[in-house]
Amino acid sequence: MATTLIEKNIMLPMRDGVRLATDVYRLAGAAPAPVLVTRTPYDKEHTVVGGGGVAFDVLRAVQAGYAVVIQDVRGRFASEGEFNPHFQEGHDGADTIAWAAAQPWSGGIVGGFGGSYLGCTQWLAAREQPQALRAMASAVAPSDMYEGMAYQGGAHVFHGRRWAVVMAAEEIRRQVARGSLPPKREASLDVDAVLAHMPLTDHPLFHEYTPWYLDWLAHPTADAYWLPISPCAGYEQIGVPVLSISGWYDIFLSPTFQNYQGMRQRGGTDRARENQRLVIGPWSHSNFTGSFPEREFGPAASSDSFDLTGHQLRWFDRWLNEADNGVDQELPVTLFVMGVDRWRTETDWPLPDTHYRPYYLRSSGQANTLHGDGTLSTEAPGDEPPDAYLYNPLRPVPTVGGQVILPGANAMGPRDQRAVETRDDVLVYSTPVLDRPVEVTGPIELRLFAASSARDTDFTGKLVDVYPDGRAMILTEGILRARYRESATAPELLEPDAVYDLRLDLWATANVFLPGHRIRLEVSSSNFPRFGRNSNTGGEIASEPADQYRPAINRIFHDLSHPSRLILPIIER
């Protein structure tokens, strides 16, 4: 094995003079080589093997002939400046790419890699159109910093709040290490208490250590604040092929599809539009093993078995080394189909042969809990009474698994929902036991005809695979804050007790419901702490104290005039 030369803490000046700490990994004595760049807020010392939320082996990339540049972003760890998430990443990323291309050990051609925030730094740098950038491999990365990162369906997404707590905790640890804070300050940080604190804007942790999070709360609509930091606002400016990677239980699953589809439609060059690739595994935001406490997807499911590093290196070989390896001739979409637990390639996303089938919500008005009479049927309803429940924001439905990245009992991924389904404020609708397999692969929509006693409330939906032994395993879910039913930019409050036709985006899945299983839908009005609670007042939720929160009576209609339905993407082959 050739010797790897490591240059540490090169202080690289940006266009405004701020210097960013940069490490270079390259083969000693090698000819000038293409360069792979990643930029992290999580400490470059931890990004060599599998860092940044994606399985990518930096040392393997070096042995494959690449030079690798790893940098602490502005204001983090060894770098200078102030950290304001995403706002400087475009210019700083472009400056770093230009520097990497100009070094004597560089072949003048650059690729970007990394996941989560490290994926977003690539996209924002690409919007600046750096001349040397040729391709990217972006994993578990956002597309729109409003929809899917800070908010979803108008509701505040609490992984953003948790992330702000984590970033604050790191700053506290650094100050404790420097002696400027007492050790008890670090020990006293209670993440769960911070997540639950109300008003959301009132916790001193954010005011002192992460004031940028308060900006997120101050912009609850999709206004101009979010445009400079959202990759989706600049697809037309991005002219390179992108390999996009995510998992069915990733917090950025839907944004990954948006990046793939957006670049296919709006990418800045023919080469970009024609060379987008997508890999979706049975993974979460930080678990690429395919193994979860309540579900094993088999030996082929892990990123190691899939050789995710190898897939990315083949991608870079094609676009940075111009290798004739056939990558650009392969089918663009690779999916792991759950249920049958196997990989499959497809011609596009959504799958062109998708048939969207409505499953109608049915009951005699008693769909509350898994012991109620709610059903899912392919036959439209006739004259049926609505289902109703009391949503109390001070007693929210707890998050149990799913597309989350939360601590403790809220562990991510496939988890049994039966404990949730015993609550009176959860409506449960299930098909009869299936006598044949039903494949659901694609985006999922829930149409609800709903009314509330409040001026504003939330509605949630959850798709569940019910096993023969009764386990109810979550597949995907979504939410709509009712004031945003028509627009994410111009909210409108409800007229109490009026019936509205609501559309909920439940994101996507690829799952075969096997014979003996049932398809299930849960409907409620909270999913905490995945999403922030709606106070039901119609006011500014982020600044409202708990004593202003009010219960609401919410009703779901399913009759001839109000055919509430779950629209599933069915694949029949």
Active site residue 371: no
Question: One of 250, 416, 425, 456 is an active-site residue; which one?
Answer: 250
Calpha distance 461→484 (Å, rounded): 16
- Write out the DSSP string of 161-201: HHHHHHHHHHHHHHHHHHTSS-HHHHHT--HHHHHH-SSGG
As a whole number of angstroms, the distance between CA 458 and CA 204 comes to: 28
Q: Which one from 79, 106, 116, 244 is the annotated catalytic residue?
A: 116
Catalytic residue list contains 250: yes
Does the annotation mark 116 as catalytic? yes
Answer yes or no: are the C-beta atoms of 155 and 481 closer than 8 Å.
Answer: yes
350 prior amide bond cis, ω within 30: yes
Write down the catalytic residue from 86, 285, 311, 562: 285
Contact of 283 with 303, CB cutoff 8 Å: yes
> Residue 485 gets which letter from DSSP?
S
| DSSP 8-state symbol, 260 | H
Peptide bond into 199 cis (omega under 30): yes
Angle at the Cα of 439 (from 427 to 341), degrees rounded to 5?
Answer: 105
Strand pairing category for 291-292 and 387-391? unpaired
Do residues 278 and 431 touch, judged by C-beta distance below 8 A?
A: no
Radius of gyration of the chain (CA): 24
Question: What are the residues whose beta carbons fall under 8 Å from the beta carbon of 80, sequence distance 6 or more?
Answer: 11, 18, 19, 20, 74
The closest of 337, 331, 380 to 352, measured between CA atoms, is: 331
Q: What share of the chain is helix, strand, coil (3-state, %, to 5)?
A: 25, 35, 40
Q: Which residues carry out catalysis? A: 116, 250, 285
